[in-house]
Structure 1
Amino acid sequence: MKNLFFIFFITVLNFESYAQKFDNIAETPPMGWNSWNKFACNINEQVIRAAADAMVSSGMKDAGYEYIVIDDCWHGERDADGFIHADKEKFPSGMKALADYIHSKGLKFGIYSDAGTETCGGEPGSRGHEYQDAIKYASWGVDYLKYDWCNTGKQNAEASYTTMRNALYSAGRPILFAICEWGDNKPWEWAQDIGHMWRTTGDIYACWDCEEDHGDWSSWGVLKILDMQDGLRKYAGPGHWNDPDMMEVGNGMSVAEDRAHFAMWCMLSAPLIAGNDLADMSAETVAILTNKDMIAINQDSLGIQGFKYSSKEGLETWFKPLKNGDWAVTFLNRADQEHQVNFNWEDHQIEDPDFEYRVDFKNTLFSVRDIWAQKDLKTTKHALNARVAPHDVITLRLVKK
């Protein structure tokens, strides 16, 4: 322990002046799983190992998912020197052994802390222990830190997150830094050089379009979260992503709603962090989470979020520019009744409102691939005529010919 304390003292002196966030991380939106949405504080090392096993066996790892992230309530106590330890009953083998197990699966290990004195679940926060915690995380083999914002009093958000960024850098192990202050302090305006992703809203809730009132705060359904992303796309890109929160696919909504939820997170270039029980998934849930064509839209190297092109009577049309001149298009039916889609491509000239991407379908021809039906349609010389079910989507990839 004396060696750790010595390292702590030296790193604070030597690294503070030129610390930065780690480069070459999250060049495309991060993909993984987090324990909170399904398990909350009911976690232990068996639950986490089972999630890692299922990520591999389900095909999610092959589809691109890589992070296994333990959220709140893993904490034990701090020792006499102030270093944090895991709860010995929940994690008797310790965090290093758990990280080693996850790494042995070809996956990466994530953990959770809070910028305040206590986490949201009442566990020890990192306030005043940032450098010690960073050293511990590095020694355990952590690859991802979700950093929350409970019990922060009058702390300055930018300063608090900068302190932890500096601490992580000083510890020397490249760690993805996920800022989770719920968008209260507009992190999209200041966090690009601090974190790799930042929450844009409060917590998500497993419903289509609702607000779950908790008194002094609320959690939000999928459509509510989607609407809160308006105006934010210009701030995101490779290495720095808007985060509309972890996904609720497989947590009780309908298959159509899960499909639409996943499609819109892909269109938003959002981090794809599953929040269901990976060890107990339906075939429909697996099919949604591992749709390779949909994931390719999310992981496109341009890193440009989609934008809403039109909206009428609950039917929205979204476009997303992709590399090589391709486009993704999603027709989102927010309504409770079926909608007819009649889209004559040659009647439309698409201009990205924030970036210099545009297309005139009269002059440029595309082949059309239906992502969810997994079939090729006619080219954009032919109008699209289709029906989209309530709370569902049609997503197309347009490939420039």
Structure 2
Amino acid sequence: MKRILVLIIALVFASGANAQKFEGLAETPPMGWNSWNKFACDVDENLIKETADAMVASGMKDAGYEYIVIDDCWHGERDSLGFIHPDPERFPSGIKALADYIHSKGLKFGIYSDAGWETCGGRPGSRGREYQDAMTYASWGVDYLKYDWCNTEGLKAEGAYLTMRDALYEAGRPIVFSICEWGDNDPWEWAGPIGHLWRTTGDIYNCFDCEEDHGTWSSWGVLQIIDMRPGIRTAAGPGHWNDPDMMEVGNGMSVSEDRAHFALWAIQAAPLIAGNDIRNMSPETVEILTNKDVIAIDQDTLGVQGYKHIDEEDYEVWVKPLAGGEVAVLFLNRTEDPMDITFDWKANKMTDPDFGHSYDYAADQYSIYNVHTHKKSGTTKKALKATIPGHDVLMYRLTKK
């Protein structure tokens, strides 16, 4: 059978087929879980099965999460024909059996590889084996591929990701393609026809406002990440999303910081990929990750990424146009101390600088709904007077009356 697959791969190369990206996938930002932030290389099939079980039992599946993604270090060796196999000690049942288990839970299965000779964790990469790996993933039942950028000396990012895109398409199974070259090569300028989402920054770190210096590279806190890459929101939309990295909700920040982190990802129409141990969550973490009102803002079908209406040193106001003329508004306190605000809606006409959506509160009255308390909060007729806790947000959904 493997020799037949090798022949098929050769024929694909020879055919010059006009491959493309799978359309109709990731029409809203993908939602799921990835193993890296919490477990790094400490992954095995029992962890992944238990995580799938927890996604269902915790209510995350009902809230919209669907992908279970194994990140780096699942790999074993390639066989004599070059086909990749999972680590036999960590995944003794094989990847197809694991994918079948996840599918049996009504979820989808994701996997990880790298465009270089080796992954970031030193396992076999896909360089020179793209079509072979794509056909293997398809035969296993993979639904999502995160494709990293370590050990890629001499490669051009756009070309390398085009090669894997074409390989996935020729393998015939629709797979969401997550480009992960950390924003180093301006993927928002070229990745739309290639991937369904692309990383815009370096790796996230479980800190709200800090940088972790690794010497030649850094990991970034939540505020550092939202400050990066201004002016790229026009690249995002249904089927092609800016990705500020997986989330750190539940990994050690305060409840306020986790709530702000989740809301900021939602206002940016970011993929919501949890990165915590969802088998062992506090009630507060479950509440944040399954808040359907916040998720609805992220998953809104208009597919417009939010923008900053007010950008001050310690205080920001974010706006996200929504379908049906509604709008989400987020107030961010970047400081550690509580902040009192007075916001006069009538004096703050909001006009989208890129897409033209406009909200004139002096001319039109909107009802206000607090997505964290799940209660109505009056209308825009009166100025908003509120206190934002330190490292926290207020987030509202506004509907024209």
- TM-score with structure 2 setting the length: 0.99
| Percent of aligned pairs sharing the same letter | 66
1:1-400 alignment runs, 5 A limit: 1-14=2-15, 16-400=16-400
| Cα shift at 1:186 | 0.2
Distance in 2, Cα, partners of 1:167 & 1:12: 9
The AA in structure 1 aligned to 2:58 is S
- Give the AA of the match of 2:204: I
Which digits, 9 at most, give the CA deviation of each residue in 1:261-280, with x for residues without a partner? 00000000000000000101
1:169 and 1:386 mapped to 2: Cα distance?
51
How far is 1:12 from its partner? 2.4
Q: What amino acid is aligned across from residue 3 of structure 1 in structure 2?
A: I
**CA-CA distance at 1:349 after TM superposition:** 1.1
TM-superposed deviation, 1:229 = 3.4
Q: Deviations over 1:276-313 (max 9, x none)?
A: 00101110000000000000000000110111111335
Following the alignment from structure 1 to structure 2, what is the Cα–Cα distance between the partners of residues 361 and 178? 39
Secondary structure of the 2:302 match is coil
- SS, match of residue 379 in structure 2: coil
Q: How far did residue 143 of structure 1 move?
A: 0.2
In structure 2, list runs of 5 or more residues that go unmatched: none
Gap regions ≥5 residues in structure 1:
none
Q: d(CA) in 2 for partners of 1:35 and 1:308?
A: 31
One-letter amino acid of the structure 1 residue matched with residue 9 of structure 2: F
Q: Secondary structure at the match of 1:17?
A: coil
Shift of residue 341, structure 1, vs aligned partner:
1.7
Quick check: 95-104 or 339-348, which moved more?
A: 339-348
> C-alpha separation between the residues in 1 aligned to 2:12 and 2:248?
39
Quote the Cα distance in structure 1 between the aligned partners of 2:39 and 2:140: 23
Distance 2:307 2:96 in 1: 42
User: Which amino acid in 2 is paired with 1:12?
Assistant: F
Displacement of 1:13 after TM fit? 2.6
AA matched with 1:115: A
Structure 1 residue 344, shift from structure 2 partner: 1.3
Show CA shifts across 1:302-357 (max 9, x none).
11011111133511111110011100000010012111121111111111111111
For 1:350 and 1:285, the matched residues in 2 are separated by 32
Q: For 1:263 and 1:200, how far apart are their aligned partners in 2?
A: 18
Q: Which runs of 4+ in 1 moved over 3 A?
A: none
CA distance in 2, matches of 1:185, 1:229: 12
Distance 1:308 1:280 in 2: 35
SS at match of 1:378: strand
Number of residue pairs the alignment of both structures matches = 400
Kept in 2: contact 1:229–1:244 (CA 8 A): no
SS in structure 1 opposite 2:284?
A: helix
- The whole-number CA distance in structure 2 between the counterparts of 1:313 and 1:214 is 27
CA distance in 2, matches of 1:359, 1:332: 20
With the length of structure 1 as denominator, give the TM-score of the two structures: 0.99
Deviations 1:360-387 (A, max 9, x none): 1111111100111211011111111110
